[in-house]
């Protein structure tokens, strides 16, 4: 890693511990900063707290005391991405004009490796994984990081000039960047999401757009030609612009023609040979191919991955077949667009399991995609809202249950041979489950119990 002096002797406050906070605090300590850590939920007995205190780092647990910002003059705040900017402590920091970043900014500052950054409302993890696997198949020494579960600044510590870091980025992470500049930046799509965090769609779009913001003519912006908001967001980018499209043949990008994925006029793979399910994944595949072609990855490596890669856990994941009923876990579908794309992946009669955290939105945008949905099993805070659209669509079998496990058993009881049973909630999980992963794991466990 680059041993930079930018943080030497600087007073830095890390708010929010978790994995990213711990990694950021330890990195800043190693870079010579005077580090203070504050976490709402941590206790003095936590291993991470003890580790930091062993280094001499001050750790304040149990609340976010507003007096913290008056006791010391902080030069910088590193904020956990999940902590909203309306948090009282953060609001005071903003008033004091203290710079606030997320740990991906630190990762960029110390990384010797180029970064491929991927964001979008949907498809980030699948695209990030595809890019990583394609680079790996061609011996390009990739590392994977970011919102996919591996802390970016930890990965950047390991990286050398021989590596390339493939980094999944959320709007929460990107909002906390100042100089962050990936060599290759991708916005897959933009849809209404996380408005409870950002406040307005405009603010959400601006956060996503930060991935292009600092790029120069020596960088590449990979742009979804079919998404008007993505195109608008890229207009001010100074990078070389490379487009991908599922609907139009492009001169210099990636597209579909005669059932083949093509890049710059060259056919690479027939769609029928791709094992990743769902037409919506064509967008992710085109974006991934565009990115890796900019790193000179061979067609053979691309084909090897696309003929073997079946998907990422919790993202339209095939779980199994029981008595000719196929079960799919799409717990990562935390918004309407993700669920609509999952529904488009099937033509068979489908039983949809949906519901979760109520973020204030309605679900009418799902209506066009419910044609082959024969039943809906609903749970969580949004069950009543989803029941309304099911009634509007004329779906005859609508059942409300307490949780995902009950939903699996209920769906199986009413199903017939040839049906698809699909968990695709269209909502975040936090009303009942800590994470979408926990929700998906419970679905998988329930399916295995049925077996």
Contact 309, 275 (CB under 8 A): yes
Contact 177, 127 (CB under 8 A): no
pLDDT digits (tens, 9 = 90+) for 300-358: 999 999 999 988 889 888 899 999 999 999 999 999 988 998 999 899 999 999 999 99
38 class by beta-carbon count within 10 Å (0-12 exposed, 13-18 middle, 19+ buried): buried
Q: What are phi and psi of 301, to 5 degrees?
A: -70, -40
Tell me the mean pLDDT in the region 100-129: 96
Q: What is the CATH number of the domain that holds 225?
A: 3.40.1190.10
Binding-site residue numbers for ATP are 120-126
Shared domain for 300 and 352, answered yes or no, is no
Amino acid 337: pLDDT: 87
Shared domain for 279 and 325, answered yes or no, is no
How confident is the prediction for the chain on average, in pLDDT?
95
Shared domain for 86 and 183, answered yes or no, is no
Amino acid 92: pLDDT: 96
Amino acid 194: pLDDT: 67
Q: What is the CATH number of the domain that holds 332?
A: 3.90.190.20
Domain's final residue, options 49, 83, 101: 101
Whether 1 is in a domain gets the answer no
Look up tokens 């956990």; give the residue: 80
Shared domain for 96 and 124, answered yes or no, is no
Shared domain for 350 and 443, answered yes or no, is yes
Whether 254 is in a domain gets the answer yes
Amino acid 192: pLDDT: 66
Shared domain for 368 and 440, answered yes or no, is yes
Shared domain for 45 and 113, answered yes or no, is no
Shared domain for 38 and 147, answered yes or no, is no
Tell me the mean pLDDT in the region 431-450: 97
pLDDT digits (tens, 9 = 90+) for 106-117: 999 999 999 999
pLDDT digits (tens, 9 = 90+) for 363-377: 999 999 999 999 999
Residue 84, domain extent: 11-101
Whether 5 is in a domain gets the answer no
Shared domain for 162 and 206, answered yes or no, is yes
Shared domain for 91 and 158, answered yes or no, is no
Amino acid 195: pLDDT: 65
Binding-site residue numbers are 120-126
**373: β partners:** 350
Pull the structure tokens for residue 396: 């005859």
For the cut 70, the answer to whether the pLDDT of residue 128 exceeds it is: yes
pLDDT digits (tens, 9 = 90+) for 155-214: 999 999 999 999 999 999 999 999 999 999 999 999 866 667 767 888 999 999 999 999
Beginning with the edge strand found earlier in the chain, give each strand of the sheet holding 266-270 in spatial order. 142-146, 164-168, 114-119, 184-187, 220-224, 240-244, 254-257, 260-263, 266-270
pTM of the complete model = 0.83
Helix (H) or strand (E) holding 142, with range, is strand 142-146
Shared domain for 329 and 276, answered yes or no, is no
- Rounded to the nearest angstrom, the gap between the alpha carbon of residue 251 and the centroid of all alpha carbons in its chain is 30
Shared domain for 279 and 424, answered yes or no, is no
First to last CA, the chain: 49
Amino acid 169: pLDDT: 97
Whether 321 is in a domain gets the answer yes
Amino acid 392: pLDDT: 97
Amino acid 143: pLDDT: 98
Pull the structure tokens for residue 69: 């910002």
Contact 89, 112 (CB under 8 A): no
Number of compact structural domains in the chain? 3
């Amino acid at each position: 890693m680059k041993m930079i002096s930018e943080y030497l002797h600087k007073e830095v406050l890390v708010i929010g511990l978790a994995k990213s906070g711990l990694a950021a605090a330890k990195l800043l300590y190693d870079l010579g900063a005077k580090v203070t850590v504050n976490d709402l939920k941590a206790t003095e007995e936590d291993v991470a707290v003890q580790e930091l205190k062993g280094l001499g780092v001050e750790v304040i647990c149990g609340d976010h005391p507003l007096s913290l910002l008056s006791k010391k003059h902080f030069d910088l705040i590193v904020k956990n991405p999940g902590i909203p900017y309306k948090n009282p402590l953060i609001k005071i920091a903003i008033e004091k004009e203290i710079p606030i970043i997320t740990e991906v900014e630190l990762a960029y500052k110390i990384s010797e490796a180029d970064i491929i950054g991927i964001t979008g409302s949907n498809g980030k993890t699948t695209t990030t994984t595809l890019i990583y696997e394609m680079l790996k198949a061609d011996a390009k020494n990739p590392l994977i990081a970011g919102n996919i579960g591996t802390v970016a600044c930890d990965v950047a510590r390991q990286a050398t000039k021989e590596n390339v870091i493939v980094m999944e980025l959320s709007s929460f992470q990107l909002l906390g960047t100042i100089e962050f500049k990936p060599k290759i930046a991708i916005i897959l799509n933009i849809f209404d999401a996380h408005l409870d965090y950002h406040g307005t769609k405009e603010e959400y779009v601006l956060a996503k757009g930060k991935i292009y913001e600092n790029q120069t003519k020596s960088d590449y912006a990979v742009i979804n030609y079919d998404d008007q908001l993505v195109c608008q967001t890229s207009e001010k980018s100074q990078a070389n612009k490379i487009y991908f499209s599922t609907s139009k043949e492009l001169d210099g990008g990636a597209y579909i023609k005669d059932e083949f994925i093509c890049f710059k006029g060259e056919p690479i793979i027939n769609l029928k040979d791709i094992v990743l399910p769902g037409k919506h994944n064509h967008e992710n595949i085109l974006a991934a191919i565009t990115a890796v072609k900019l790193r000179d990855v061979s067609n053979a490596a691309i084909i090897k991955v696309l003929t073997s890669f079946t998907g990422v856990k919790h993202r339209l994941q095939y779980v199994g077949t029981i008595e000719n009923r196929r079960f799919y876990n799409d717990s990562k579908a935390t918004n309407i667009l993700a669920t609509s794309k999952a529904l488009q992946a099937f033509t068979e009669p489908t039983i949809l399991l949906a519901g979760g955290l109520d973020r204030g939105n309605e679900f009418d945008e799902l209506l066009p995609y419910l044609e082959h949905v024969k039943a809906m099993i609903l749970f969580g805070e949004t069950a009543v809202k989803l029941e309304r659209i099911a009634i509007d669509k004329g779906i005859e079998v609508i059942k409300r249950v307490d949780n995902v496990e009950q939903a699996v058993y209920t769906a199986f009881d009413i199903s017939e041979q040839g049906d698809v049973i699909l968990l695709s909630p269209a909502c975040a999980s936090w009303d009942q489950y800590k994470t979408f992963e926990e929700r998906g794991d419970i679905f998988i466990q329930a399916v295995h119990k049925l077996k």
